[in-house]
Structure 1
């Protein structure tokens, strides 16, 4: 379940807050659930994924934080696409794909 928060709280709570593309955010949301969300007068603004105690990813209509490098985002997308293609070919099960996807995401951002 997501917890409502504010931009100010997120920026104060995490040492590193990175904004990611909508494409990568959609892909990550298939494997992990957001921990927090922000909203404003026009509705939902963004989802926040807590990677660890000092690192958060933000994506949505009005994300905030420092832009995560585009090359790195594309690298992670390729890894996740490769994993999904293995599932599509039937070489791994759905549960295995979900577990490995979470592992890839955590290892990628914590490396």
Structure 2
């Protein structure tokens, strides 16, 4: 069961990246993610989705489309907004400390 959920979240990350590359509208992305979560039996708001989105933005894709998807995840109550904020804050602190090592 745990492996199934890991595969599902990996699929969400892959879909998000593909949607971003194709320029998919954020609302369309949110509807698809919502349906995927429902079919996997995940009840929103999902902490796991928050982790997937923040990892996507912070490590791979700090671009406008990714931020629009994050905003729609909040608007559609797909991910907990306070957790998203906490994750983004902790990542920015880690990144700023990493950058300071080289300057």
TM-score bin (small chain): 0.3 to 0.5
What TM-score do you get using the length of structure 1 for normalisation? 0.35
* Higher strand proportion (structure 1 or 2): 1
Q: Which has the higher contact order (CA 8 A, sep 6+)?
A: 2
What TM-score do you get using the length of structure 2 for normalisation? 0.37
